[in-house]
Structure 1
Amino acid sequence: MFTGIDEVDWASLRHAYGSAEDVPGLLRGLASADPAERETALDGMYGAVHHQGDVYDSTLASLPFLLALVASETVPERGGIVDLLVSIGQEGEERAGDDTRAMARAAVRAGAEVFVRLTRDPDAEVRRAAAGALVRFHDAPARVLGLLRERLTVERDDRVLLALAEALGVFARRHPGQAAGAVELLAAQSAPPFGPGMRLAALGQLADCAPDRLPEDLVPTVVRLLRERSKRRPCRTGEPDRPETHTLVGRLRRLRPSDEEGSQLLRTLHSALGGRVEERIALLMGQLSSPDATDRCNAVWMSMGLFREWRADYRAPVELIGAQLAAGDDRLREAALSVLEGLLDLAAPAADHLHALVVSRPDLWVRQWEYGAPTLGTALKSLALCGDPRATPVLAQLLAGPVVPNELGRVAVELGAAARPLAPALRSRLGQVRLDSPDTYDRAAPLLWALGALGDVESVPQVLRLLLGMPDGLRSREAVVESAVRALGAFGAAAGEAAPVLRGLLDTGPAVAAAAALWAVEGDATAVLPVLLRELRGERRGRAMAAEALGRLGPAGRPALADLRRMTAADDLWQRTAAACALWRIGGDDETDVAAPVLRTAWAANPHTRPTVAECVTALGPVAAPLHDLLRAELASPRRHQASLDGYGSHDIADDVRLLRLCRDGVSAR
């Protein structure tokens, strides 16, 4: 297995953390008789040699030895190594001038004959992993399909059978000219006499590669099969005892759903159905109504993928997710809370369930951590984030107590007018923030955000205390100053006493924020314009912020028009967008021909610019009518503006809800 391993100059090769001289030890560890050593070695391969999916020269050098390891029946748990090979060899994004991924794929394909033998391996986990590897890397489609057909007739392990169904789906997508045979096999497996697990797996693959072969009563069929499967759900047998290791592999294994296979089956089907949102909602409702708590838990976890990608009426499934909070199952409750927290006001249908949990479990109001500051309990946080005023008295109790999570201020803002009774306590807390502490920013920033959003002008003295009292050497001083300045700007003319302090900040790091706040407080461009023009012509970092601030000046910012026109041709998309918005807001109709095309291009080029563009269009009113078609198209789109299939952001739904609100305001502006 390791012939020639010592002849490789590993020290000259690299992985994610530098020299690859430790790689021979990791490779040998994969063949160890000690399960803990094997898991640690596999974790090391993923963590360094294949870090976050990257491929290095050391990864390429490892491939011959990995292929030799999986070929040897003396090596335990080779399924995990096959999975590693699949991950290394799969298609991915290639960087310009870096062909290591292509070389990795070629190397795995060159050794793909080993996967033929592994489909008959005595170890079921190896057979499971080999099915996917075979279809992805072997160059003889007809032979591959024949092998899959053969294995379907002789295989008896349920997990391997599910992997074979998935392999058939991959085959149909990779070889469309020869997909008919794979589709026929999947269609046969989706019907009796096959068991519910196999039928669900086949339906999931058909939904992706041959949706015309799905039954008309797809959702009722799937729900029925799911419940049949739950009644005879197999126990996990045949897996070796697993060591408790402090590795990423070990942590991921412990975080798996208790019914990982059922979760994967339904996730595959949901993903394949894509934009067929009504069917997915009906399917989710069926899952959430299951008498089996594990099925409901799986449904809760996969619901977020639907919610964050597609716009629809989710009131019914959200209410059912809320109902899980009373199920008495800690795992189910935590899953439901995790989803509801990310929905913000879309979680309103679950508000009664959230409130019931908050009232009955004061011990859940604050979450203490072994390391780090305490945070708001998820139930209370979710209740506040969905804008339910019943969260206000509970937050007031926390503000009056000894432990106040730092995030409370930012969360309270989502309550809107219902948070106003909290202003005196928030103001008092701001007055208690130490001025020389390492956590000054963490404590002060959320409070400043909340008080600014609530327009609490009585807090101006506490804000000035921060601005004037923090020592110069404090690491987070500039960030705190900027937050404080933004709060003063939010108070507007009522913060007139802060004007001298703001003027004193015009030559400091937060100069742009200070200038914007001074304009909001005094409305006099005399002191503000020179600062913003200086920043606009300065370093790249502050140019977009300066342009945004200039836009708020409206016609008073006309001296910046020439600079802003030049900036609309900048290399950076965000600078072009900020400049075009400012140009239009300052120059009005006269700048439409320059600004509108820039913003239209930005809208199409990067969906993340859309809230900025929509806010600009809304502020301009009828002047921005040439872009109203973009807003109307966004409002009509069923897909969230920045949803992606390969990532997840905690603010995706919040940003989309804000965008839709801006679009509605923009098209109705007169």
Structure 2
Amino acid sequence: MKSPAELDAVQWQTLTHAYGPAVDVPDLIRALHQDDDTIVDEAVHELYGNIHHQGTVYPASAPAVPFLAHAARHVPRKRTELLMLLAALADHTPADTESPHWPRGPVAEVCTELCRVLPELLPCLTDAERPVRRAALRVVAAVADLLPAGLRASVEERVGELYAGDAVPAVRADALVVLNRSGREPLPFDSPWSEVRLAAATLAAKRSGPPYPAELVTILAEDGAEPDPGEDDFPWPGADTPESHLTGLLTDDPDAALAVAAHWIDAGDLGSRGSWLAREIAEVWRDREPEVLDLLLAALPHQRDTRSLVHTLDVIGRWVGRLPEPGEELRDTLYDYARTDGETARPALLALVRSRDPRAVDVLLRRPDAEAVRAAATVFPEAGDELTAVIREELSAGATGNAAAALIAALEPLGAPARRARPELVECLRTRRAAVAAARQLGLDGILTGEVSSALREAGRSSDASLRAAAAVARYRLAGDPVPALRTFEELLSAARGPAHRHLGSLQPLGRAAAPLLPLVEPMLTARQAWTRAAAAEAHHGITGSPDDAVPVLAELAGPSPVGLHALKALAVIGRTPEELRPALRAYAFSPRRLLGATPFSEDHEDEELRAAAWRLLTLA
């Protein structure tokens, strides 16, 4: 270890961290020894941000280790945080050490320094404070695979003493994890301590892999139902807290996870652990929605605060539309929550709409919500007159931002009744409230009035490129004259900057009338950005009607990613399935695991769209 008096012996100006030269590091380390807690807290925060920035370490990180170790021993009130910083700096997997670049890397240098000072940190293993002992164990775990034989034996002896005699079961469990990394056998499934049994079962499940043996699942269910009361759920090397590690482990085996989640929920869903695990099952595995929704319905009465209740209702709303026949109990429960006056009413109403319960319309008319209106327009098109009236009223009242955009989007599936909202759309366009959505909907309206023409012409002069594109397309739809639209898109596609793929995506309604733009579109088929290539391929097919240039570009991009999904949907529209894609398409269609995560704030789960696109392409000749 090194004291602050030795800081000037390091040439900090020649070292770097996340923000450049590390000239501020010595002052931050000196600040750790101040009596002012605010100054110390700020110093710790800054060190977490510069010598360890989002999991990355730098040339200045290793030289700081001996000084941080000294501070950990001499600044008791921040000992836990400093030990955890040391563990985070040394974070690596054993496989990392096999890399040819390891010996010269910043992480290797950190680990070398930490191994050197570790003997002086071992007294922290017997600190009077539980969080310190747990943090010290994580420091040991961070370099356990790198310790020389003599030091390893000494460390294992000290850790073994904690496992055998610490008064806190959670510390014993942590010590077991460290010992297991050194090959300790057998695991104590019959320990009198539930924390130790849980750690043992977690370690065994990790080692065995799914499907997990029934005896392990039973231990995980029974001993994992109650969160650690110590409120010091520190991450292990690898950035996983025991809680998140266990959740991730369980979701690798959906049957085990469902059984454990059910037990945790029956035990009171303490800390929302069961409902959180249920959510993860639906996010990771396909076609588990019925079982997950049954669990979430059972978990609703156990939610102890509004935030947890709202979150559970949100998750129900995400998946309830996937049920062929949502059960009466679930719909009645959602209806009861939707009629309340609290924060739970909004997510419950959206879920009720997506459950296709007709009572949702009555609630919605009394208590309009933009997202629920948008969902209802698709689910209940027969209520077009009532929903259009709600949309007009909300837009007239000044709805803005995402709410206005959702209300306007709700008009498209409503057909003829939506035309009555033309005055409100014109006003939104003129006042720039969700103007792009308003311009698009006016174009779909099919009727060109002088007022609409004037508003679109004004929007076409906007500094907002997306609005100019939307207004140009709307004018073409309504007037049939492609010249103004061609002039607009020529300007937008010729610009050196801007979201070219968005403008290309707007060309579809012009069809073959956009032929004069081909000289601008064709070079984009080989653009660096994947989204631009995908949009250019779609536009090229829409303009020429020929799949010859578009299909190879889209086939190359197709895959389980947002742009890959876009490419698959474009191929489905074109009606071509490249033979070389069929093996991948079968994997996308029949994978039991989800291959794409959910998009925030989207009604549709992209993985469901991926599967549907793959199925459609597989059915094409």
TM-score range, shorter chain: 0.7 to 0.9
Find the counterpart in structure 1 of residue 160 from structure 2: 152
Find the counterpart in structure 2 of residue 86 from structure 1: 87
- After superposition, give the CA deviation of every residue in 1:189-226 in whole Å (9 maximum; x if it has no partner): 24224533222212222333443996354323432444
For residue 407 of structure 2, what is the amino acid of its counterpart?
A: L
**Are residue 488 (structure 1) and residue 442 (structure 2) matched?**
yes
Find the counterpart in structure 1 of residue 147 from structure 2: 140
**Corresponding residue to 1:601 among 556, 560, 565:** 556
Find the counterpart in structure 1 of residue 419 from structure 2: 457
**Corresponding residue to 1:393 among 341, 349, 362:** 362
Find the counterpart in structure 1 of residue 106 from structure 2: 103
Is the Cα contact below 8 Å between 2:137 and 2:178 reproduced in 1?
A: yes
**Are residue 638 (structure 1) and residue 592 (structure 2) matched?**
yes
- Specify whether residues 15 and 302 from structure 1 end up closer, same or farther in structure 2 by C-alpha distance, changes over 3 A only: farther
Is the Cα contact below 8 Å between 2:597 and 2:606 reproduced in 1?
A: no
- Specify whether residues 357 and 304 from structure 1 end up closer, same or farther in structure 2 by C-alpha distance, changes over 3 A only: closer
For residue 152 of structure 1, what is the amino acid of its counterpart?
A: G
Is the Cα contact below 8 Å between 2:300 and 2:312 reproduced in 1?
A: yes
Counterparts of 2:328 and 2:150 in 1: how far apart (Å)?
Answer: 56
Per the TM alignment, residue 569 of structure 1 is displaced from its structure 2 partner at its CA by: 0.8
Counterparts of 1:547 and 1:452 in 2: how far apart (Å)?
Answer: 22
**Are residue 336 (structure 1) and residue 337 (structure 2) matched?**
no
- After superposition, give the CA deviation of every residue in 1:618-649 in whole Å (9 maximum; x if it has no partner): 322357787566544311122323349xxx95
More displaced, 306-315 or 344-353? 344-353
- Give secondary structure in 2 for the equivalent of 1:464: helix
- Specify whether residues 565 and 264 from structure 1 end up closer, same or farther in structure 2 by C-alpha distance, changes over 3 A only: same
- After superposition, give the CA deviation of every residue in 1:336-363 in whole Å (9 maximum; x if it has no partner): 2353355463488588446535535745
For residue 571 of structure 2, what is the amino acid of its counterpart?
A: V
- Specify whether residues 102 and 502 from structure 1 end up closer, same or farther in structure 2 by C-alpha distance, changes over 3 A only: same
Per the TM alignment, residue 397 of structure 1 is displaced from its structure 2 partner at its CA by: 1.0
**Are residue 208 (structure 1) and residue 165 (structure 2) matched?**
no
Counterparts of 1:354 and 1:116 in 2: how far apart (Å)?
Answer: 61
**Corresponding residue to 1:379 among 320, 328, 348:** 348
- After superposition, give the CA deviation of every residue in 1:38-93 in whole Å (9 maximum; x if it has no partner): 55553444356645445567656643321211244x6234122111122233249x
**Corresponding residue to 2:66 among 64, 67, 86:** 64
**Corresponding residue to 2:522 among 561, 565, 568:** 565
Find the counterpart in structure 1 of residue 473 from structure 2: 516
Is the Cα contact below 8 Å between 2:275 and 2:295 reproduced in 1?
A: no
For residue 125 of structure 1, what is the amino acid of its counterpart?
A: P
- Specify whether residues 339 and 31 from structure 1 end up closer, same or farther in structure 2 by C-alpha distance, changes over 3 A only: farther
**Corresponding residue to 2:132 among 126, 132, 142:** 126
Counterparts of 1:430 and 1:272 in 2: how far apart (Å)?
Answer: 47
**Are residue 582 (structure 1) and residue 546 (structure 2) matched?**
no
Find the counterpart in structure 1 of residue 196 from structure 2: 198
Structure 1 vs Structure 2 CA RMSD: 4.3
- Specify whether residues 44 and 110 from structure 1 end up closer, same or farther in structure 2 by C-alpha distance, changes over 3 A only: closer
- Specify whether residues 336 and 668 from structure 1 end up closer, same or farther in structure 2 by C-alpha distance, changes over 3 A only: same
Counterparts of 1:467 and 1:21 in 2: how far apart (Å)?
Answer: 53
TM-score (normalised: structure 2): 0.79
Alignment of structure 1 residues 36-435 onto 2, 5 Å:
39=41, 41-46=43-48, 50-53=52-55, 55=57, 62-72=64-74, 75-91=76-92, 102-103=105-106, 105-121=108-124, 122-123=126-127, 124-137=130-143, 139-140=146-147, 146=153, 147-148=155-156, 151-155=159-163, 156=166, 157-167=168-178, 171=181, 182=183, 184-185=184-185, 188-193=186-191, 195-211=193-209, 215-226=213-224, 230=226, 236=230, 265=242, 267-273=244-250, 275-288=252-265, 290-294=266-270, 297-327=272-302, 329-330=304-305, 333-343=309-319, 345-346=321-322, 349=326, 352-353=329-330, 355-356=332-333, 358-359=335-336, 362-366=339-343, 377-385=346-354, 388-399=357-368, 409-410=373-374, 412=376, 415=379, 417=381, 420=384, 421-433=386-398
* Identical pairs, percent: 24
Find the counterpart in structure 1 of residue 574 from structure 2: 620
Per the TM alignment, residue 609 of structure 1 is displaced from its structure 2 partner at its CA by: 1.0
Counterparts of 1:5 and 1:640 in 2: how far apart (Å)?
Answer: 51
More displaced, 622-631 or 307-316? 622-631
- Specify whether residues 5 and 277 from structure 1 end up closer, same or farther in structure 2 by C-alpha distance, changes over 3 A only: same
**Are residue 654 (structure 1) and residue 605 (structure 2) matched?**
yes
Per the TM alignment, residue 487 of structure 1 is displaced from its structure 2 partner at its CA by: 1.9
Per the TM alignment, residue 321 of structure 1 is displaced from its structure 2 partner at its CA by: 1.0
Is the Cα contact below 8 Å between 1:384 and 1:411 reproduced in 2?
A: yes
Counterparts of 1:502 and 1:649 in 2: how far apart (Å)?
Answer: 31
For residue 503 of structure 2, what is the amino acid of its counterpart?
A: A
- Equivalent pairs counted in the alignment come to 591
- After superposition, give the CA deviation of every residue in 1:495-538 in whole Å (9 maximum; x if it has no partner): 67635643554454323222333344455545433433443333
Is the Cα contact below 8 Å between 2:585 and 2:614 reproduced in 1?
A: yes
Counterparts of 1:626 and 1:520 in 2: how far apart (Å)?
Answer: 38
- Give secondary structure in 1 for the equivalent of 2:411: helix
Per the TM alignment, residue 430 of structure 1 is displaced from its structure 2 partner at its CA by: 1.3
- Specify whether residues 454 and 66 from structure 1 end up closer, same or farther in structure 2 by C-alpha distance, changes over 3 A only: farther
For residue 466 of structure 1, what is the amino acid of its counterpart?
A: C
Counterparts of 1:517 and 1:130 in 2: how far apart (Å)?
Answer: 65
Per the TM alignment, residue 16 of structure 1 is displaced from its structure 2 partner at its CA by: 7.1
- After superposition, give the CA deviation of every residue in 1:144-185 in whole Å (9 maximum; x if it has no partner): 76434662354323222222343356x4xxxxxxxxx62x52
Per the TM alignment, residue 570 of structure 1 is displaced from its structure 2 partner at its CA by: 0.8
Per the TM alignment, residue 266 of structure 1 is displaced from its structure 2 partner at its CA by: 5.8
Counterparts of 2:139 and 2:603 in 1: how far apart (Å)?
Answer: 34
Counterparts of 2:114 and 2:538 in 1: how far apart (Å)?
Answer: 56
Is the Cα contact below 8 Å between 1:310 and 1:639 reproduced in 2?
A: yes
Counterparts of 1:105 and 1:416 in 2: how far apart (Å)?
Answer: 61
Counterparts of 1:59 and 1:161 in 2: how far apart (Å)?
Answer: 31
Counterparts of 1:113 and 1:462 in 2: how far apart (Å)?
Answer: 71
- Specify whether residues 366 and 130 from structure 1 end up closer, same or farther in structure 2 by C-alpha distance, changes over 3 A only: closer
- Give secondary structure in 2 for the equivalent of 1:192: coil
- Give secondary structure in 2 for the equivalent of 1:76: helix
Per the TM alignment, residue 129 of structure 1 is displaced from its structure 2 partner at its CA by: 2.0
TM-score (normalised: structure 1): 0.74
Is the Cα contact below 8 Å between 1:319 and 1:350 reproduced in 2?
A: no
Per the TM alignment, residue 391 of structure 1 is displaced from its structure 2 partner at its CA by: 2.7
Structure 1 unaligned spans of 5+ = 172-180, 240-252, 258-262, 368-375, 400-404, 434-438, 471-476
For residue 563 of structure 2, what is the amino acid of its counterpart?
A: T
Per the TM alignment, residue 35 of structure 1 is displaced from its structure 2 partner at its CA by: 6.3
